């Protein structure tokens, strides 16, 4: 793994989001696809999770997007392999966070009937008509898994690491941060998964000062109706 937000394969024919790992069977399928299509640009391999299939966006490693897609926010085409159907997708390029495929993403998810656990391969393509991602589904890549929160482990559904906490949208952690958070979460031993956020200007500015919680986390862990709640520093008497 490198510090650019994605992992390169040995031969640099495909990349994975940082911290993700495939099973040997899944890697063999991707390797077979690489041998078949011989891509000139590395493929992007990722797994569909609950946020991806219901939240309306796919977080993508920033450096991969900047190098192989767009260097600023814009639109790209997402295409089936035979070009029988295309989708216009917004690519959001953020300064401090991963990039994201957003507007148009849910149409792509629904049209292809994608579900949690599906392994998807995207092949970047550039031409005079713009930038496109060609979609290669991995056949029989889906495995069953009970719904709901999954503790830290390689998921039996798709072999990818799922941390025992929720992370704020578009937030990327380096290895040192992940290790510190994993250690802290294990020490807390909470029945409810913690929420991890990296403070940005909007979180600490006197003019704005707001913290957004992911909809999945709020729906799962917070009351459904609006109400006040107490904020307390662990092992301290201070409350807000």
Distances 166 to 34, 36, 87, 136, 216 between C-alpha atoms, Å:
33, 37, 29, 28, 9
Please say whether the beta carbons of 22 and 119 come within 8 A: yes
What is the pairing mode between strands 130-137 and 74-80?
Answer: parallel
> What's the mean pLDDT when you consider all of the chain?
76
**Average pLDDT, integer, range 198-220:** 73
Let me know if residue 80 belongs to a domain: yes
Around Cβ 103, how many Cβ atoms within 10 Å?
16
Q: What percent of the chain has pLDDT over 70?
A: 76
Let me know if residue 163 belongs to a domain: no
Residue 190 host element (H or E): none
Q: What percent of the chain has pLDDT over 90?
A: 6
pLDDT bin (cut points 50, 70, 90) of residue 234 is: confident
What is the pLDDT at residue 162? 58
**Average pLDDT, integer, range 159-183:** 71
Of 189, 197, 190, nearest to 167 by C-alpha is 197
Q: Tens digit of pLDDT for each residue in 128-170?
A: 778 889 999 876 555 433 333 333 333 333 444 456 777 776 6
Per-residue buried b or exposed e for 2-41, using 16+ beta carbons within 10 Å of the residue's own CB: eeebbbebeeebbbbbbbbebbeebbebbeebbeeeebee
The pTM score is 0.57
Phi and psi, residue 53, nearest 5°? -90, -10
Let me know if residue 148 belongs to a domain: no
Q: Tens digit of pLDDT for each residue in 80-115?
A: 888 888 999 888 887 666 677 888 888 898 898 888
Q: Which residues contact 5 (CB under 8 A, 6 or more apart)?
A: 17, 18, 61, 62, 63, 64, 98, 172
What is the pLDDT at residue 99? 76
Distances 6 to 11, 64, 66, 173 between C-alpha atoms, Å:
14, 7, 12, 11
Residue 195 has pLDDT above 70, yes or no: yes
- Distance from C-alpha of 137 to C-alpha of 13, rounded to nearest angstrom: 17
What is the pLDDT at residue 92? 85
- Distance from C-alpha of 111 to C-alpha of 190, rounded to nearest angstrom: 38
Q: Can you give the CATH number for the domain in which 111 is found?
A: 2.40.330.10
What is the pLDDT at residue 172? 66
Let me know if residue 170 belongs to a domain: no
Q: Tens digit of pLDDT for each residue in 13-45?
A: 888 877 677 778 888 888 899 999 898 889 999
Domain count of the chain?
A: 1
Let me know if residue 206 belongs to a domain: no
Residues of the domain holding 15: 6-137
Q: When comparing pLDDT for 152 and 74, which is higher?
A: 74
Q: Angle at CA 104, nearest 5°, toward 102 and 107?
A: 125
Let me know if residue 201 belongs to a domain: no
Let me know if residue 88 belongs to a domain: yes
Let me know if residue 130 belongs to a domain: yes
Residue 237 has pLDDT above 50, yes or no: yes
């Amino acid at each position: 793994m490198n510090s650019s937000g994605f992992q390169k394969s040995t031969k640099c024919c495909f990349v994975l989001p940082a911290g993700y790992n495939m099973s040997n069977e899944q890697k063999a399928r991707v390797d077979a696809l690489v041998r078949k299509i011989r891509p000139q640009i590395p493929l992007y391999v990722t797994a569909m999770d609950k946020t991806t299939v219901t939240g309306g966006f796919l977080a993508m490693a920033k450096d991969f997007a900047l190098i192989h897609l767009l260097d600023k926010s814009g639109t790209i085409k997402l295409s089936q392999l035979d070009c029988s159907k295309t989708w216009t997708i917004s690519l959001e390029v953020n300064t401090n966070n991963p990039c994201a495929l957003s507007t148009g993403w849910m149409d792509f998810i629904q049209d292809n009937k994608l579900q949690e656990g599906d392994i998807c391969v995207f092949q970047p393509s550039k031409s005079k008509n713009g930038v496109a991602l060609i979609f290669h589904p991995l056949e029989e890549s889906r495995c069953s898994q009970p719904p709901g929160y999954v503790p830290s482990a390689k998921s039996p559904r798709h072999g990818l690491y799922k941390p025992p906490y929720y992370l704020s949208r578009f937030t990327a952690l380096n290895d040192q941060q992940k290790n510190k958070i994993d250690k802290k979460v294990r020490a807390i031993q909470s029945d409810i998964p913690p929420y991890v956020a990296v403070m940005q200007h909007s979180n600490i500015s006197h003019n704005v000062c707001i913290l957004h919680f992911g909809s999945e986390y709020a729906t799962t862990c917070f009351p459904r109706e609006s109400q006040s709640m107490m904020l307390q520093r662990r092992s301290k008497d201070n409350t807000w």
